[in-house]
Amino acid sequence: MSTCTDNWEQVEAAAKMVLGEPIVDFIEQASAKPHPESQLIAVLHEVQSRFGYLAETHLDAVAQLMQVPAAKVVGVAGFYHFFRLKPRGKFMINVCIGTACYVKGAERIAQKIIEELGITWGETSKNGVFTLEGARCLGTCGLAPVVMIDDEIHGEVTPDQVPALLEKYLKKARE
């Protein structure tokens, strides 16, 4: 990797501490490709899938390793909805608020979840189990309204089903 710092080894070691070996390897591979700076979003995806969110320390380490200004890394991370800058709960609840779900009552599902968990959009429940987010269409409009919990999609959800649905995951979390 080409460097422009004289304490590269230190920088690399510190980044490895923060990001872990696999991600550092990923960045090194990405940097070997043509247009290495274009791999920034792919790198951030990698970091987020490992840690669940992008902490400031992660972003700094990425900036160091990729040799791009930290301002740019933070700018990109902040621009895209998919990137989370705050820690998330064990399970991500994504209530779809696409048009089809909206006209079929997604708001009422969300309202029920908000009541049940005592949190609002973007927040994590006190027990650290759930984080609630709104999703911009999950592409399963035929099953509207849809709630995605982690990778699992639940279709044709009614407000009455919400408590049982949450309980299922709470049980998983306790295991």
Partner 1 sequence: MTTKVVEQYEALANRAEEILRQRATADKIRIQVGSATCEHAAGSRDVLDEFRKHLAAAGRDDILLHQTGCTGRCSREPIVGVMVPGQMPVKYERVDRQLAHEIFTQHVLQGRPVLEHVLDGPVERLARHEILICGSVRCGWKGPRPFQEVLAEKLSAAGLANEDVHVVRAHCFGACNAKEAGHFSHLMIQPDRVLYRVKDEAELDEIIREHLVGGRPVERLRMPGKTIGGNFLELYGDVAFFNRQSRVALRHNGVIDPESIEEYFHYHGFRALAKVLEKNDPRWVIDEITRSKLRGRGGGGYPTGLKWKMGNEAFSPGVHAGKGTFSPGVHAGKGTFSPGVHAGKGAADRTRYLICNADEGDPGAFMDRSMLESDPLNVVEGMIIGGFAIGASQGFFYVRAEYPMAIRRIERAIELCRQWGLLGKNILGSGFDFDLEIRLGAGAFVCGEETALIHSIEGERGQPRVRPPYPTEKGLWGKPTVINNVETFANVTAVVNYGAKWFARIGSEKSGGTKVFALAGKVQHTGLVEVPMGTTLRTVVEEIGGGVAGGRKLKAIQTGGPAGGCIPAEWIDLPVDFDSLMKAGSIMGSGGMIILDEDDCMVDIAKYFMTFSQDESCGKCTPCREGTTRMLEILERITSGGGTPEDLDKLKRLGLLMKRASLCGLGRAAANPILSTLEHYSDEYEAHVVERRCPAHKCKALIHYEIDPEKCVGCTVCARNCPVTCISGERKEPHLIDQSHCIKCGRCFEVCRFEAVKRM
Residue 114 interacts with partner 1 (CB under 8 A)? no
- Cβ(132)–Cβ(90) under 8 Å? no
Residue 41 interacts with partner 1 (CB under 8 A)? yes
What residues contact 11, with CB distance under 8 A and at least 6 apart?
5, 64, 65
Binding partner 1 by CB under 8 A: which of 42, 50, 122, 167? Answer: 42
Binding partner 1 by CB under 8 A: which of 52, 83, 123, 173? Answer: 83
Torsion of CA 101, 107, 113, 118, to 10 degrees: 150
| Interface region with partner 1, contact rule CB under 8 A, candidates 2-10, 16-24, 129-137, 162-170 | 129-137
> 147: which strand partners?
95, 154
The least CB distance from residue 49 to partner 1, in Å, is 10
Angle at 129 between CA 154 and CA 162, to 5 degrees: 35
| Residue 148 DSSP SS3 | strand
For partner 1, the closer of residues 12 and 46 by Cβ is 46
Residues between 130 and 149 that touch partner 1 (CB under 8 A) = 135-144, 146
Q: Which residue has the tokens 């070996």?
A: 21
Distance from the first to the final alpha carbon of the chain: 44
Residue 52 interacts with partner 1 (CB under 8 A)? no
The least CB distance from residue 11 to partner 1, in Å, is 20
Applying CB under 8 A, the residues found at the interface with partner 1 are: 35, 37-42, 44-45, 72, 75-76, 79-83, 97-100, 102-104, 111, 115, 135-144, 146, 151-155
